[in-house]
Each structure stands twice: as C-alpha cells, then as structure tokens.
Amino acid sequence: MLFVPLPLFATLFLALLLCRILLTRDMALRAHQLFAGLIALYAVQSLLVSLRWGYEIEGVATFLIILAPVLPAVAYLSYAALTGRQTARRLWPFAVIALNWLVFAALPVLPDPLILMTYLGFGLLLLRLWWKGADALSLSPISNTHEIRFALGLTGAALVLSGLTDIYLIIDFIQNDGRNAGLILTFVQTAFVVVIGLAAFFGRADELSEPEEESVTLGPEATEQDSDIVNRLESLFVQDGLHRNEDLSLRRLARKLGLPARQVSNAINRARGMSVSQFVNDFRIREARTLLCSTQKTIMEVSLTAGFATKSNFNREFLRVTGQTPSQWRKGNLSDNE
C-alpha cells in the first residue's frame, strides 16, 4: 500500500486554493499576486516536508532551509500591500531573505537561529499591523475588512508560534538528537501551512491600482475641514449610492473626494469617533433598517441591496449598531407600525 504523508494532503489543499484565487481574483493587482505567491510557496514547502520526513529524502533539506526565510517575508509583503504603501524603500524584507541565504552559505551551522528570528520578527510585524485596526488596510474592500483583518492576525500568530516551535526543535536536537523532529514537523508545521495558506486566500484588494504613499500632517482635534469631508461622503452615499458598492474601500472613497486616504480616515476618526468601515457600515445599516420595514425583501436581499457582501457580515454589523438581529428588529418595528 502506498504511504501518503499528511503534508501531501496539505499540498493538494493549497494547490486547490491557488487555482481558486487565480481564477477568481484580478491578478493584475500586486496584492493578489503576492497572496497567490504565498499560497504557492507554502504548497511547495508542504511538498518538501512530505519528501523530507515522509519519504526520508535527505536531499530536499537544503531547499527547505533556502525556502524558510522567504515564507514569512512574502506573508508580510502580502498584507503590507493592502496598506497602499508599497514603495521601493519598503522592499527591505528581501534584504532579510538575502541575509539568511548569505549566512547559510557562509556558516551552515547558524541558519536555524536566524530563521527563528525571521519568523518571530515578521510575525510580530503582522500582529502590529493587525493592532492598528481596519483603516490601516486602506486597499481592502470594506465589506471584507473583518475577514481580512482576522486572517492578518491569524497569520501573524501562526508565524510567531512557528518560531516558538523551532525553539522546541532546537532543544529536542540538543537533548534527544532530534528524535521528535519528524513528528513535530509533520503535524504541527502542516497545521501552520494550512492555516496560513487558508488565511492568505481571504487576502483581497479592491479593483483600483495601488497608488504611491501619501503623507498628511494631522491635528489632534476635529476641524471644520473634517466635518466637510464627512458631509461630502454622506452626500455621495445619499445621491450616488456609493455605499452600496461591495468592493468599496478607503482608497476608493479617497479618490472620489480627491483627497489622500489618510486624511479621509482621520477626518472620520476625529469627526465621528469611528473607523471608516464602521462609518460606511453604519450608513448601510441605516438603509437596511428602512428596507426591512418598507419592503418584503428577504434579509439576504436587504443585505445585498445595502452593500454587504455576505449575510454573516451584515448580521454582525446590524447587531453592533442596533443591538438586535435583522429579524428581531424587523419583527419589533413591524409590530410597532401595525
């Protein structure tokens, strides 16, 4: 009977995800290219792990070491691409990759500690980006911000945990001559591969091309200009129905106003005390409440009409704004009007 290592199943799963993302995303966008590349790289790593520990092919060990620093760097670049700030000076992660390779070429006994620091470093950077909130991901569609931010935090945590796993492996090699290494890499690392690959599938940018980085000097309090920006946005929502666009992003809003994205974001933060996604979704919920009371549309139809890409996102935001589910709100308000 043919022995099929567990990582091979992960490889197949990631290959299917890669095919899906290539068929359903606009691959002209840098962010989508990076996320597709990330999934492809993890599929290759999973295949190499299965060959190394499943079939005991020692020759692939070198390729695993070469690939190791590339994975966290590309993960970081993928999510950083959603911030709209991918200028040439922000490509420093490639220098980190090169440093890992140079150390491996010169001192083969030292790559493990450096790879460990690379995973921990990029993992912490991703968690830092997650901590900044939804508005930091200015190129991501507002309807998908919650899922993308969750995937971002999950990827950062997985990289950190992967680094901590490497610490255990180093200790195991010191104390037990690496007797448990194969088992750990087969199960634990395969889990990390699947988690990060699945998270990468949720990474998504809007259909606009990424602009160059913009800089805005901010003040500590709301100004008349902030209020004017918010009022102009609300006018766009009322007159043009801009909020109904499922692919709406901070960058798209900023371009409609002819302003830098950071200025629009901070105007909403200061004038309304909320994030851009909350501001847009609050307006969507306002329209949804009207539709629930004045039409016979199903809740799914209402959510799509108001601009939500998924019913789960609609339910979550409706509960945040009103404290009730859409069905509860409709039942209560229809009763009051009868």
Query: Does residue 281 have a pLDDT over 80?
Result: yes
**Is the entire prediction scored with pTM above 0.85?**
no
Question: Cβ distance 142 to 120 under 8 Å?
Answer: no
Highest mean pLDDT among 81-95, 166-180, 303-317: 303-317
Query: Does residue 123 have a pLDDT over 70?
Result: yes
Q: Express each pLDDT in 159-177 by its tens digit.
A: 888 877 766 555 555 556 5
Question: Cβ distance 285 to 306 under 8 Å?
Answer: yes
Q: Find tokens 């105007």 and name the residue.
A: 267
User: Terminal CA-to-CA distance of the chain, rounded, Å?
Assistant: 70
Q: What is the pLDDT of residue 194?
A: 75
Q: What is the pLDDT of residue 4?
A: 53
Q: What is the pLDDT of residue 31?
A: 83
Q: What is the pLDDT of residue 11?
A: 85
Q: What is the pLDDT of residue 126?
A: 94
Q: Give me the half-sphere count of Cα atoms (radius 13 Å) on the Cβ side of residue 17.
A: 27
Query: What confidence category does residue 23 fall into, taking pLDDT thresholds of 50, 70 and 90?
Result: confident
E-only strand ranges, 22-109: none
Q: Which of 60-69, 113-122, 141-150 has the lowest mean pLDDT?
A: 141-150
Query: Does residue 111 have a pLDDT over 70?
Result: no
- Mean pLDDT of all residues belonging to the chain: 80
Q: Express each pLDDT in 209-235 by its tens digit.
A: 344 444 444 445 668 888 899 999 989
Q: How far apart are CA 287 and CA 305, in angstroms?
A: 9
pLDDT, mean of residues 15-19: 89
Question: Cβ distance 163 to 200 under 8 Å?
Answer: no
Q: Is 314 helix (H, G, I), strand (E, B) or coil?
A: helix
Q: Is 3 helix (H, G, I), strand (E, B) or coil?
A: coil
Give the CA dihedral 279, 285, 291, 296, nearest 10 degrees. Answer: 150
Q: What is the pLDDT of residue 217?
A: 42
The percent of residues above 70 in pLDDT, for the chain, comes to 81
The percent of residues above 90 in pLDDT, for the chain, comes to 12
Query: Does residue 97 have a pLDDT over 90?
Result: yes
From the centroid of its chain, how far is CA 123? Answer: 13
Q: How far apart are CA 60 and CA 81, in angstroms?
A: 31
Nearest to 69 by CA among 48, 45, 39: 45
Query: What confidence category does residue 293 fall into, taking pLDDT thresholds of 50, 70 and 90?
Result: confident
